[in-house]
Structure 1
Amino acid sequence: MDKALEDGDLSELSSLGHFLKGSSATLGLTKVKESCEKIQHYGQQKDEAGTTDEPDEKLCLSRIKEILVTVKEEYEEVEKVLKKFYATATPAAT
């Protein structure tokens, strides 16, 4: 996503947002899913809900940049929880 954002590639950002939204939903990562859905919508030049056109490409890229910071923070939180869970759920090697 960082590369697509750097390139200003809204189509790629939408596609990646869609992919990560689905993966996050499958894993039950609701916050990450919701943020990725917003990226998908802005990549399609829609508002965050995906209901209204947003013709300003720069505004969409700016909002994606802000959301991407949030997504990374949310992912780090989830990663810590999952690592802790699986570390305690896995029997110690003998």
Structure 2
Amino acid sequence: MSGDLPPVARLGHDLVRNFEALPPEKAAAEIATHIRKFWEPRMRRELLAHIRLGDAPVDPLLVRAAEDLVEGDVDHAEVKEPSGG
């Protein structure tokens, strides 16, 4: 991933590198847990916005972790596609 990524995407990719040795589902859960515990709500919203808009390349494992962040709150399709409403 390139150096022109938004700061939250770079931080997310750092997490991916730290957890990528785990099985994908476990890694995504660990990344989501870390983000919930240590990231400010503003940072979480910014990451989700970048994923929704697709304005920056985001590692698929980070996308899966973001789905875990919103599980139960938002339809998984909403993470990838804005509702338009």
Using structure 1 for the length normalisation, give the TM-score: 0.28
Which structure has the higher relative contact order (CA within 8 Å, separation 6+)?
2
**Which structure is higher in helix share?**
1
With the length of structure 2 as denominator, give the TM-score of the two structures.
0.30
